[in-house]
Amino acid sequence: MTISHDFSGVIAPVLTPFGDDGAPDAARFVAHAKWLLADGCTGLAPFGTTGEANSLGLEERMGLLEALVDGGLDPKILMPGTGLCALSDTVKVTRHAVAKGCGGVMMLPPFYYKAVEDDGLFAYYAEVIERVGDDRLKIYLYHIPPVAQVGLSVALVGRLIEAYPETIVGLKDSSGDWDNTRALLDAYPDFTIFPGSEIFLLEGLRNGSAGCITATGNVNARMIRNVYDKWRTDAADDLQAQITALRLTLQARPTIPMLKAIVAHFRNDPGWARLRPPFLPLEAGDARAGIDELTQQYGFELKAA
Amino acid sequence: MTISHDFSGVIAPVLTPFGDDGAPDAARFVAHAKWLLADGCTGLAPFGTTGEANSLGLEERMGLLEALVDGGLDPKILMPGTGLCALSDTVKVTRHAVAKGCGGVMMLPPFYYKAVEDDGLFAYYAEVIERVGDDRLKIYLYHIPPVAQVGLSVALVGRLIEAYPETIVGLKDSSGDWDNTRALLDAYPDFTIFPGSEIFLLEGLRNGSAGCITATGNVNARMIRNVYDKWRTDAADDLQAQITALRLTLQARPTIPMLKAIVAHFRNDPGWARLRPPFLPLEAGDARAGIDELTQQYGFELKAA
């Protein structure tokens, strides 16, 4: 069985809906995943930061991944997050994702202990890869120091690529720091690198990135995909300016609650606005103000699939 | 079944040994726990930061707790760490600890997502308490902002005590900030508060704390316990100065690797020095230099039980 690791384009870290019992809602989740593909996503990254993945238990993650695959999504376009704090839990959910045929996994470094050394992070990834022990494993490193605090230096990424060239195949850079993304692109031109925001989409593509993996792809994949499709045309800079402006408005409020409020509003499904603690939904007035801004300034809407 | 929540004195967050297969070593773990009690600990806090708990999988934590109880330790003196990133995992291991009869649990706030609000953290603890749904549950909040980054404000602690006075019974303050500990002691005089280092033991006791929960209790419980036992005597300040000096030497190198190196050295059991990635053992020369300092400056040794 050969698994491609050719992820590219616009990938959404899928929002995770919760039922009124507080449990993840698999039916809404699968429906949203299918809608995202219809809306222009080329791949999906369930269980990212945006998906409140680190508020989901191990069994919940694995159950939701099974729901996606059983629901008919092609596992080859799925790149689930499988990087947990604890090495043994990471191995468990990574093995599960590989067994389900996922095209890749996105893997945070272990993020509880701070000020750990590159040697320790290298040892962690090495032990995960060896314990999973499966040639089908394709890891996309997940660099998000504003949240995880523990990041992956350019030098460490290079050591991992060199040691595991068939396994360490890409990276999502959610540092928000273009200089870091650019340094990675320059250092590892054959590596599959995704900026973590569409703000860097065009600049990234012009410097060899593979697209973007972006939270706001949950509500705006169509326009982002349009930039991806037309990035070599004369229209590219104008199209990029539009998605950058929309992104800045979308992230002006707490992003995950705002995205859920948008989905709830346009689908007329208030339950979609639920979050799991420690996150809380936006105040109704705040959500309303955000949606008004989007509709009035950008004519924004969430189209049916 | 009535469970006391009268933890006090010197509590060690038990180091977690690993076998040469990288799995936690239950036999060494239980033996060390018993030795700690013989050495002067009044209680044990397995699965704290020092115990590399956030590198342990759910099943590993629960398995080690069962090993302690099956190994004959009184569960009433155990305060296992049960605060994971994900609410549902926290509920799972907390229920398990309560079912095993543990006298309390030590619970981190959810620590992946940063800049969350007090309302969100309150909602998290409230939902955990309601889902566990067991009057025997006694929670010791775990405030360790240097590592978890997400902390518990003095105001939030007060809200939790007020809402759940029978459940939220204490706190470990590993902020390293005496002003914060003092503010908590002043604000909540009936609350069971432990500084996270013996450096604050005497000052804490004089201001109403219950003792300390301290990493270095793994190798120095006897001297720390002596301060606890004699804190009202004229010798207290001198005894405190001695354990403070020793603590500063112990933490001059990365604390967890140093503590494991000490145990490995004095028990003549090199396997004890293993850590799980992202931690790595100290270089041999570094460990040796640390042990030499301890023996030469303080006549330090790890006595047999």
The pLDDT tens digits for A82-104 are 999 999 999 999 999 999 999 99
CB pairs under 8 A between A and B: 123
Q: What is the mean pLDDT of chain A?
A: 96
Answer whether A8's CB lies under 8 Å from A192's CB. Answer: yes
Closest in A22, A126, A147 to B112, CB measured = A147
Q: Look at residue A3 in the predicted model and tell me its pLDDT.
A: 37
pLDDT (tens digit per residue) in A40-69 = 999 999 999 999 999 999 999 999 999 999
With beta carbons under 8 A apart, name residues in chain A contacting B59.
88
Closest in B60, B111, B113 to A112, CB measured = B111
| pLDDT over 50 at A2, yes or no | no
- Report the pLDDT averaged over residues A103-112: 98
- Residue in B closest to A109 by C-alpha: B278
Q: Look at residue B3 in the predicted model and tell me its pLDDT.
A: 37
Residue written as tokens 């690198």? A193
CATH topology of domain B9-298: TIM Barrel (3.20.20)
| pLDDT over 60 at A188, yes or no | yes
Q: Look at residue A256 in the predicted model and tell me its pLDDT.
A: 98
Q: Look at residue B52 in the predicted model and tell me its pLDDT.
A: 98
Q: Which residues of A112-126 are buried (b: 16+ CB within 10 A; e: fewer)?
A: bbeebeeebbbbbbe
| pLDDT over 80 at A272, yes or no | yes
pLDDT (tens digit per residue) in A221-266 = 999 999 999 999 999 999 999 999 999 999 999 999 999 999 999 9
| B189 reaches A (C-beta below 8 A) | no
Question: What is d(CA A53, CA A58) in angstroms, rounded to the nearest whole number?
Answer: 10
Largest Cα span, chain B:
53
Q: Do B277 and A124 touch (CB under 8 A)?
A: yes
pTM of the model: 0.96
A 60-89 near B (Cβ less than 8 A): 60, 84-89
Min Cα separation A302/chain B (Å): 27
- Report the pLDDT averaged over residues A14-31: 97
Closest in B55, B126, B148 to A86, CB measured = B55
Answer whether B9's CB lies under 8 Å from B225's CB. Answer: yes
| pLDDT over 60 at A279, yes or no | yes
Q: Look at residue B305 in the predicted model and tell me its pLDDT.
A: 63
Q: Look at residue A5 in the predicted model and tell me its pLDDT.
A: 46
Q: Do A54 and B127 touch (CB under 8 A)?
A: no
Min Cα separation A147/chain B (Å): 6
Question: What is d(CA B14, CA B25) in angstroms, rounded to the nearest whole number?
Answer: 13
Question: What is d(CA B19, CA B63) in angstroms, rounded to the nearest whole number?
Answer: 15
Taking the CA atoms of B245, B249, B255 and B257 in sequence, report the sign of the dihedral they define.
negative
Closest in A22, A57, A278 to B120, CB measured = A278
Confidence of residue A303 (pLDDT cuts 50, 70, 90): confident
Min Cα separation A206/chain B (Å): 32
Q: What are the extents of the domains in chain B?
A: 9-298
Q: Do B88 and A60 touch (CB under 8 A)?
A: yes
Q: Do B88 and A59 touch (CB under 8 A)?
A: yes
| Positions in chain B short of pLDDT 50 | 1-5
Question: Measuring CA to CA, which residue among A21, A7, A12, A25 is closest to residue A272?
Answer: A25
pLDDT (tens digit per residue) in B146-156 = 999 999 999 99
| pLDDT over 80 at A4, yes or no | no
Cα–Cα distances in angstroms (integers) from residue B268 to residues B258, B265, B271, in the given order: 15, 5, 9
Q: Look at residue A283 in the predicted model and tell me its pLDDT.
A: 96
Q: Do A113 and B278 touch (CB under 8 A)?
A: yes
Which superfamily does CATH assign the domain made up of A9-231 to?
A: Aldolase class I (3.20.20.70)
| B116 reaches A (C-beta below 8 A) | yes
With beta carbons under 8 A apart, name residues in chain A contacting B127.
22, 277
